[in-house]
Structure 1
Amino acid sequence: MNLQARLLFLLAYCSATSWALIPHINPFKLQEVEYHGDDVGEPLILTPLLEQGRIKDARIAASVSLSGCAKDITSYAGYFTINKQYNSNLYFWFFPSTSDYKKDPVVLWLQGGPGGPSMYGLLMENGPFTVNKDLELELRNNSWTNSHSVIYIDSPVGTGFSFTENEKGYARNQSQVGSELYEALQQFFQLFPEIRKNDFFVTGESYAGKYVPALAYTIHKNNPDAQEKINLKGIAIGDGYIDPEHQVGYAEYLYQLGLVDKMSSNVIKYLEDKAATYISRGDYIKSKEVTDEAFNIIMEKTKVNIYNYLQQGNSVIGEDLMKEFLNKHIVRRAIHVGRTTFGSNKVYHYLSEDIPRSIAPWFVEVANNYRVLLYTGQLDIIVAYPLTLNFLKHVEFRDIQKYHKAQRKIWYVGRELAGYSKNAGNFTEVLVRNAGHMVPFDQPKWAENLITRFTRNKPF
């Protein structure tokens, strides 16, 4: 079959395939969740108190008081204004370490999306409690707060409870995302100055594969001249979408798994090559459209969950429970969000053109100066393990050549085979067994061990 005939065949195949159009490959539903219940007060904006030097008052105001199993868990929540012109505010919920608060590392957790709320990570992945089917809290045994102080920030503006009053307040690129998070962190460490000198790590998963390097790079560039420095030690990214051009290789992967036949694999490969061509031309909108088309075919032809291929459908487990819990009257009042609408599809809309763009140069700069952990769930499709390895073949940083030559090691947690790791200098890469896109959700015990080893600089 010559090239022209092949293209005609592929186009006819695509036209004949019936699938429900998927507007994006985001794991989260981005519809707004409004509140219409009883009075829950106003959103707690802490910035004015910080500007007046009223740190103690701000701490008291931000204190969270929950009932049930969470009544003895110390936490603080509220808003930092990061752009007064547009009244843009980032929402945070902070949990001090339950072990050694004054010495333990401080970890920032960022969800992906774009538009995925970090409240999901808190309630469904690695926070001190989770939400059950009765919309009540249950303590989590393997919380990252057992030995870290953890900050959850809904970022960028418009994500989760974070909000802006102007369309111009929504982020359009990673430079803006990094700068706004940096401003929020400066205010956070004003509020909690006693842990400013603790080791600090930026972590996250999925599309936060861009947010994490963006913030770390911003800290790195600002620290030399900053009056108050942030003690950045490293970054950890789970199933991270960092360099789209080199992380689109689903055709062969799905074929080798037996999830698609050769015909479907050829169609997906054709679309992947087309998307890569658009990226090389700088036509990011076209690239995104073609990539979405490829995912429509993948989901139609496999019927598996692209975030964990052992599951069906594509819903994120626990997302609806999280939203219902956070919309309860007593919860909204306790965590100081007032009537703020939860979530917005505008975050995704304004970052659409950013999705196919690479942040690899910033990742390289960070990897040359700090510790880096990349971990991937074995059962993920959306940012599958081979795609992360392909990304690593196309970047150059201080330890990468040593990494390529390093011996892979088996990682145990107790007697449990948790996965496989490779380390070279300040760089560590890990495959987590029996986990999908959200590693801490699928394997909370192993994920806690993973982050603790990394922040303490212990070998796997």
Structure 2
Amino acid sequence: MRNASRVWLPSPCAKLKAYSGFIPVDDDKNSTYLFFLHIKSQVNSKFKPLLVWMQGGPGISALFGQFLENGPLGIDATGNLFRRRPAILSDFNVVYLDTPAGSGYSFDTTGTYPSTLEESSVHAIRFLRRFMRIFPEYHNREFFIAGESYGARSAIGLAHRVLSRPTDLPCRLKGVMLGVGFVFPLLQIINSADYLYFSGLLDDRGRTKFADRFKQIQQLVDEQKLVEAAKLLSQTVLNMHPAEHKCLFVELTGFQSHANIIRDRISRRFETYMSYANSTEFKRSFTFRLPDLWMPQGLKLLWL
């Protein structure tokens, strides 16, 4: 199984030892699979700790971090691949993990996905147990969990599970890393009416309209109408519509993306990464068939 998961990264990282594949994480149906890319540190890998990297969104593939943030193989706005230095690989053996199922390349054949942090944490711990059967050299090794943005929730959930049941894994949890951690209640953070107003992106009318919309969303949450609240939230900020419909944020500000107040649309580098990660060339380099990265209808994004 280990040999079957061996992959060769494209130049200029072809000399790095890398492994990739899907590991089943549900014990009853055998229908839920988490995708991983494991890259060993090039120097003294047998002495380096293991780090599991989880991305945010929720829904973004951990390969976002590998290609655009901290991995050894980077991609620029024109699609050229380059060797990133320094990279997180200098200090760790890294596992880029698409979690929960439904994020990135991870999938469930029945369309049944985790609905709670506890469920996704159970899947993550099962993944790690099975991963360490394939890579027993990490037994008794120091182990770190890292999560960015909404992935910070996954990191905390997994760490809590490990600490609650320390005998579940044959390694030693040494620390948890959170990057721009999205750990507060969603509506407390994403209600940016005042921020957008004082940044000059909303006028008085827009500020009032935006704030009123979030009051409606909060009321739906208070009434436990969570599906309706999520739908209204997507119509307000997340821009998850067919292309002919605009969310309230786009309508009021003219921005096509809410990721950065100094850029009105998603960066070219992100779009290039998305195109490459869904290409036949990329999938062939991994020597097995990958599904497409999940994207909302009408948009080239990974956000759910």
Following superposition, the deviation at residue 115 of structure 1 comes to: 2.1
**Contact conserved, 1:245 with 1:279, CA < 8 A, in 2?**
no
Q: CA deviation at 1:141?
A: 1.4
**What does 1:112-261 correspond to in 2, within 5 Å?**
112-132=56-76, 135-168=79-112, 170-223=113-166, 225-226=167-168, 228-242=169-183, 243-261=185-203
- 1:249-305 residue CA offsets vs partner (Å, 9 max, x unmatched): 411111222221222112222222332233233222233234334323223222333
Is 2:105–2:294's contact at 8 Å kept on the other side of the alignment?
A: no
Aligned residue runs from structure 1 range 360-439, under 5 A: none
Distance (Å, rounded) in 1 between the aligned partners of 2:267 and 2:119: 28
Residue 254 of structure 2 corresponds to 303
- What displacement does 1:144 show? 1.0
State the one-letter code of the partner of 1:147. D
Deviation, structure 1 residue 134: 6.1
1:106 pairs, out of 50, 63, 70, with 50
Cα contact 1:159–1:342 (8 A) shared by 2: no
Give the conservation status (yes or no) of the 8 Å contact 1:130–1:140: yes
| 1:69 match | 12
1:56-99 residue CA offsets vs partner (Å, 9 max, x unmatched): xx332222224431221221112211126143211111111234
Q: Write the distance in 1 (CA, Å) between the matches of 2:119 and 2:264.
A: 36
Distance 1:268 1:324 in 2: 33
Contact 2:24 2:30 in 1 (8 A): no
Letter aligned with residue 252 of structure 2: K
- Count of paired positions: 285
The unaligned stretches of length 5 or more in structure 2 are: 238-246, 297-303
1:161 Cα shift?
A: 2.5
Taking the aligned partners of 1:111 and 1:182, their CA distance within structure 2 comes to 16
1:280-295 alignment, distance < 5 Å: 280-295=222-237
CA deviations over 1:341-390 (Å, ceiling 9, x no partner): 223369xxxxxxxx9xxxxxxxxxxxxxxxxxxxxxxxxxxxxxxxxxxx
Find the counterpart in structure 2 of residue 91 from structure 1: 35
Equivalences for residues 325-344 of structure 1 within 5 A: 325-338=276-289, 340-344=290-294
Distance in 2 of aligned mates of 1:66 and 1:248: 37
Amino acid in structure 2 at the alignment position of 1:335: F
Mapping 1:6-25, distance limit 5 Å: none
TM-score by length of 1: 0.56
Q: Is the 8 A contact 2:10 2:285 kept in 1?
A: no
> Residue by residue, what CA displacement relative to the aligned partner does 1:97-150 show, whole Å, maximum 9, x if unpaired?
234423333221112223211122111221101134664521111311121211
User: Which amino acid in structure 1 is aligned with residue 294 of structure 2?
Assistant: S
Note the residue ranges of structure 1 that are not aligned, 5 or more in a row.
1-57, 347-354, 356-460
Residues 66 and 95 of structure 1: is their aligned pair in 2 closer, same or farther, counting only changes over 3 Å?
Answer: closer
Return the alpha-carbon distance in structure 2 between the equivalents of residues 186 and 127 of structure 1. 24
Deviations 1:127-176 (A, max 9, x none): 101134664521111311121211111222233322332123x2222222
Amino acid at match of 2:48: D
Counterpart amino acid of residue 160 in structure 2: Y
Between the aligned partners of 1:120 and 1:177, the Cα distance in structure 2 is 20
Q: Counterpart of 1:61 in structure 2: which amino acid? A: A
Question: Given that residues 278 and 293 in structure 2 are in contact (C-alpha distance below 8 angstroms), is that contact kept between their aligned partners in structure 1?
Answer: no
Which structure is larger by alpha-carbon Rg, 1 or 2? 1
Identify the residue that residue 3 of structure 2 maps to in structure 1.
Answer: 60
